[in-house]
Amino acid sequence: MNDNDKQPGNGGGTSPWMKSLLIWVAILFGLALFVTMLDGRGTADAGNTIAYSQFLDKIDEGTVKDVAIGRDVITGTYTSGEKFKSYPIQDATLVPHLRDKNVTIAAKPDEATSIWMMLLYQSLPFILFLGIAFFVLKQMQKNTGGGAMGFGKSRAKMLTQKEGRVTFEDVAGIDEAREELEEIVEFLKDPTKFARLGGKIPKGALLVGAPGTGKTLLARAIAGEAGVPFFTISGSDFVEMFVGVGASRVRDMFEQAKKSAPCIVFIDEIDAVGRHRGAGLGNGNDEREQTLNQLLVEMDGFEANEGIIIIAATNRPDVLDPALLRPGRFDRQVVVPRPDIEGRIKIVEVHMKKVPLAPDVDPRVIARGTPGFSGADLANLVNEAALTAARKGKRLVAMAEFEEAKDKVMMGAERRSMVMTEDEKRMTAYHEAGHAIVSVHEAASDPIHKATIIPRGRALGMVMRLPERDSYSYHRDKMYANLAVAMGGRVAEEVIFGYDKVSSGASSDIQYATGLARDMVTKWGMSDKVGPVEYAQPEGETYLGYSSSQPARMSNKTAQLIDDEIKMIVEGGLNRAKQLLTDHIDQLHLLAGALLEYETLSGDEIKKLIAGEEIGRIDADPKSNMPRAGTSIPKTRRPNGPFGAPSPLGA
Q: Kindly write down the DSSP assignment for every residue of 481-550, as one continuous string.
A: HHHHHHHHHHHHHHHHH-GGG--GGGHHHHHHHHHHHHHHHHTS---TTT-S---PPPP--EETTEESSP
Residues in the chain: 651
pLDDT more than 90, % of the chain: 12
Asked if the model's pLDDT at residue 627 lies above 70, the reply is: no
d(CA 591, CA 608): 11
To the question of domain 45-107 being in CATH 3.30.720.210, the answer is yes
Specify the CATH architecture of the domain 422-628. Up-down Bundle (1.20)
The SS3 assignment for 193 reads helix
213 carries a ligand binding annotation: yes
Asked if the model's pLDDT at residue 542 lies above 50, the reply is: no
Q: How confident is the model at residue 154 (pLDDT cuts 50, 70, 90)?
A: low
pLDDT tens digits along 475-516: 899 999 999 999 999 999 999 988 888 888 888 899 999 999
| Long-range CB pairs of 121-124, under 8 A, 24+ apart, other chains included | 121/37, 121/38, 124/30, 124/34, 124/37
Q: How confident is the model at residue 578 (pLDDT cuts 50, 70, 90)?
A: very high
Residues 326-345, mean pLDDT to the nearest whole number: 84
Residues 330-337, mean pLDDT to the nearest whole number: 84
Residue 211, judged by CB atoms within 10 A of its CB (0-12, 13-18, 19+), counts as exposed
pLDDT tens digits along 581-601: 999 999 899 998 888 888 888
284 carries a ligand binding annotation: no
- Amino acid, res. 643: F
d(CA 377, CA 408): 12
pLDDT of res. 221: 82
Is-catalytic flag, 298?
no
pLDDT tens digits along 65-124: 888 888 778 888 888 888 888 888 888 888 888 888 888 888 877 655 567 767 766 777
Nearest to 154 by CA among 267, 250, 259, 292: 250
211 carries a ligand binding annotation: yes
Asked if the model's pLDDT at residue 636 lies above 70, the reply is: no
pLDDT of res. 71: 77
pLDDT tens digits along 345-364: 888 888 898 899 999 898 88
Q: Which residues have CB under 8 Å from 297's CB, separation 6+? A: none
Give the CATH number of domain 157-335; options: 3.40.50.2300, 3.40.50.300, 1.20.1740.10, 3.40.50.410: 3.40.50.300
Mean pLDDT of the chain: 76
Q: Which residues have CB under 8 Å from 533's CB, separation 6+? A: 525
In the structure, how many helices (H) and strands (E) does the chain have? 20, 18
Pairing assessment for the beta strands 619-620 and 627-628 based on DSSP bridges: antiparallel
Largest CA distance in the chain: 143
CA within 13 Å, CB half, 561: 14
212 carries a ligand binding annotation: yes
pLDDT tens digits along 31-72: 676 666 655 554 444 458 888 888 888 888 888 888 888 877
pTM over 0.85, yes/no: no
Annotated active-site residue in 180, 404, 432, 565: 432
Specify the CATH architecture of the domain 341-411. Orthogonal Bundle (1.10)
214 carries a ligand binding annotation: yes
pLDDT of res. 483: 94
Nearest to 595 by CA among 613, 579, 573, 610: 610
210 carries a ligand binding annotation: yes
362 carries a ligand binding annotation: no
216 carries a ligand binding annotation: yes
Write out the H or E segment, with its range, that includes residue 83: strand 83-86
